[in-house]
Amino acid sequence: MTMANSIAFVRNYTSVIDEVYQRAAVSGCLNSPRRMARAGRNAREIMIPKIEVTGLGDYTRNVGYKTGSITYEFETKTFNYDRGIRLLADVMDVEEAGVLDCFVEAGSELQRVQVAPEADAFTFAEIAGHEGVESSEMDYSDAEAEDILADLRGVTSEMDELQVSTGSRILFITPTLKGVLDDFSQANPARSNRVLTRFSRIVEVPQVRFYTAIDLLSGEEDRFGYRRAVGEYVLTEDDAVASGKTYYTKSGETYTPASSPASGSLSTYYELVGAGAPINYMVVERSAVIKFDKHVASRVFSPDELEALDSYMMKYRKYGIVELLDNKLDGVRVSRAPLTA
């Protein structure tokens, strides 16, 4: 195979896997324009403009206008996602499969089952875990559609009162809960579910990508990808039983939820800290999110470029950021399911 053919193939490969990623990811609708950011003090930082202005004052015919002020400052954010992989394919395997088919299939599979799901899971976990985001716990395992709709109405009403834009307000919800709502609409066409019209878009997110916290696995010891954050049990520091909070008792290496927590036993109770709770739904006003990739590298190397191996090599790297603007936290609401031991 000639180098020219390899170069042409690389171009085709890159365009194909980009298309696969766009189809496979569900969080792409939150991507931000890069023009809103400027370079920070180092390559790992960006600066986001934050503007505040005073309100109106009285105009008097003798004095004229009251003098207000403009506060213009920059909010510094740090790139928080840097992941990649290198894959090898023996030259004979590639020849037998056909180079284009082999690497397009491998690249598409990488995007579909690894890159896109991880990017989604990271996006939602970063949003849900951001300090200041309002998050509530609700068990919908036996809930009726009316319960879900009532909670969504409460969320939209709060956001309306806080003047959060409806034009780019997106509802992310699990397929299970969306199915409950769809079945209700089909069975009860005369009943109102107009609250759903308060969202500019409704996006279904598989539960495996929808947790309040995840662990990004390093690749050491053949552990790749991501997983729901396991968390750890630590002795509680509470001096009074917090309503709705789950405490655990320890017996050997087993932790069991305390059925009726008592203040007198608080010193022996544990909490599960840092674990990823399943998300029921998330409402996000798009402009509250900073999400873009600063650098995506995808390349295939031919055997001629590898001295030690008679193989093709594919490498992929993705470097970016998912963050929230500090002055737009009112534009995010999260409903999470209870943690299970």
Residue 15 to residues 28, 103, 137, 318, Cα–Cα distance (Å): 17, 12, 42, 15
Whether residue 187 lies inside any domain: the answer is no
- Residue 120 CA to residue 171 CA, distance in Å, equals 14
Give the phi and the psi of residue 220 in degrees, each rounded to 5.
Answer: -70, 145
Same-domain pairing of 117 and 236: no
Q: In this structure, are residues 230 and 340 in contact, taking their beta carbons and an 8 Å threshold?
A: no
Is residue 116 one of the residues assigned to a domain? yes
In a shared domain, residues 36 and 86: yes
**What pLDDT digit, counting tens, does each position of 131-183 carry?**
999 999 999 999 999 999 999 999 999 999 999 988 999 999 999 999 999 99
- At 267, the pLDDT band (50, 70, 90 cuts) reads very high
Inside any domain, residue 160? no
Element (H, E) at 239: none
Residue-range definition of the domain harbouring residue 36? 3-130+289-328
Tokens of 258: 């305390």
Calculate the CA 209 to chain-centre distance: 8
Please spell the DSSP secondary structure of 24-92, one letter per residue: H-SSGGG---GGG-EE-SSTTEEEEEEEEE------BTTTBPPP--EEEEEEEEE--EEEEEEEEEEHH
Residues 104 and 47 in one domain: yes
Q: Are residues 45 and 104 in the same domain?
A: yes
**Can you give the pTM of this predicted structure?**
0.85
Residue 320 belongs to a domain = yes
- The answer to whether residue 162 is domain-embedded is no
> Over the stretch 291-328, which tens digit does the pLDDT of each residue have?
999 998 888 887 888 888 888 888 899 999 999 998 89
Please give the structure tokens belonging to residue 201. 């878009």
| Residue 136 in tokens | 């509530």
